[in-house]
Chain A
């Protein structure tokens, strides 16, 4: 359990899906690395490239943007906009010589606690490699 500033994963979670999935993971006692910090957003579409980049600027090792399943966004295209912005942010990271895979868009439903945990663990593994 290391608690530095350089191994944090920041997860922007849509309050209608991923945030609830994270709650469910807790309720199911599915343990996952404790370097994840969840930021609640009303929709994945609220997350701007600015927010993701600032996270990296502040030393985060990975950023996850978690929204609803495609086609199941209450705001119709919020998750698709988020996907596009994540892609854009990844391209910016590549441009400055970072690994674009450090930022990732994830679609999941409010009951998908296992997927939430799997995604978080995958990201934790990924940032450990470097």
Chain B
């Protein structure tokens, strides 16, 4: 065992390095102890290199600054020297020792190094190797986010298959009339995307199709796709979810049922598409927002767009009853100003407005907070607020993949470590509306990060894994399924050894190295090299003695 101590350019004055060195020299398995001033600099790396090459050692202990800063550098250096980096043990004698106390901490430093030595003794080499991964990506959903992801991946040379439940591509883009604030019209954008996809040899499109089963893990997902009478299996390296959202007027949000002159945004869009079919032009149209959900990014955006479309195509008088009017999307503020310039009246309420049906018209009664007076509006049409909800099938897919949903049923809880597009399962990514209330600008950010995520994972056609870093001992495993249920990353599967025995098997690629399985296993059959029970206990037992 070789030990390198670093005194950080002589700045760790409250540690007596010669004394530590003298103490540790007595240990039998220590080959040498080097005291350096700067292991992090080139000369320090050179010193480590020459020592490791000249001495015959099989463990390395480095006592220096935090693992956060230097571990990756030491690991890379050892790799270059063909010394297995899993045989490296670190002691943090700067941030967690010298800098935490004014007085002399030699004794604490010695103990920290002894802990690292105790752990180093038990370390076993972990082999690293390349495993093949499938370079194809499955994109679920053929809306804006799905199409854009596929096009972007295609530009990077990654083949994709888009699976769309409906018979045509386009998703929600088809359900908006006019998209103000964009230079090209929405229809042009949609058409050009669909044409690009049709021309693209890297993109295959399956319409009227659904995913019915998911097996396997990152690098090799085995997906069964059904649709109509056919059902077939395909293999993919990663999955991008772009299943979007659906909108609905929920009965519990409004006392009156939609129908007649209380309509949804989609009904309005249909009206706007063929204004000549209307028997009578509606003179006054009311919009209600922020009643059921004040965090209403998508309903606000679509309302603002539709308000402008109404002014342009029907010329009706428009009144918008709102509370906060969430205009945090790119360009939404501009749309709001434009709407006001074109004569749309915005009325802000504090208490939800009362809505009645009267003589074929709708009355909206609300107290305007700015006027301080009650406003009664008689309108021909009321466009009710819709909620953005997770699309049908979300539950089925999330349980198939063993991935949780947030409180509203959307995919992807806002976890700081996984945010924005990654999920607990490696190779499963979420973009756009299926993650919640996201507008196009935010969806674009998601798409970029999902495209980069899947590209970096699959581009080379192979990935480096640490072979059996977390390993199930087939002799001890009783196939009780505890680890399979506990694994947050879906990385453990049951493997049939012979007709009588099944054991849990951990995928090196899908494993994220948390060690939860090793802690829950009742048979203690799972060994997490680097953090095994013995290694953790060796550290515990060194303390104090």
Contacts and interface: CB of A to CB of B under 8 A. Distances in A.
Nearest to A55: B540
Contacts of B513: 42
B99 interface: yes
Contacts of B539: 39
Nearest to B66: A23
Contact of A50 (B100, B115, B531, B533): B533
A52 to B, nearest CB: 9
A127 interface: no
Given A10-B543, A23-B66, A72 B528 contact: no
Interface of A: 1, 3-6, 8, 10, 15-16, 19-20, 22-27, 29-32, 34, 37-43, 45-48, 50-51, 54-55, 58-60, 68, 71-78, 81, 85
A8 B543 contact: yes
B543 A37 contact: yes
B94 interface: yes
B57 to A, nearest CB: 23
Contacts of A75: 424, 488-489, 512, 514, 516
Interface stretch (B278-286, B327-335, B342-350, B409-417): B409-417
Nearest to A7: B544
A41 B540 contact: no
Contact of A58 (B98, B100, B514, B541): B541
Given A34-B105, A45-B516, A73-B417, A5 B544 contact: yes
Interface stretch (B26-34, B106-114, B163-171): B106-114
Contacts of A32: 100-101
A43 B514 contact: yes
A10 B544 CA distance: 11
B415 A71 contact: yes
B101 to A, nearest CB: 5
A124 B97 CA distance: 16
B417 A74 contact: yes
Contacts of B515: 41-43, 45-46
A60 B544 contact: yes
Contacts of B489: 75
A39 B539 CA distance: 7
A78 B533 contact: no
13 contacts: A5-B545, A20-B68, A24-B95, A32-B100, A34-B103, A37-B543, A39-B115, A46-B516, A46-B518, A51-B536, A59-B544, A72-B415, A75-B489
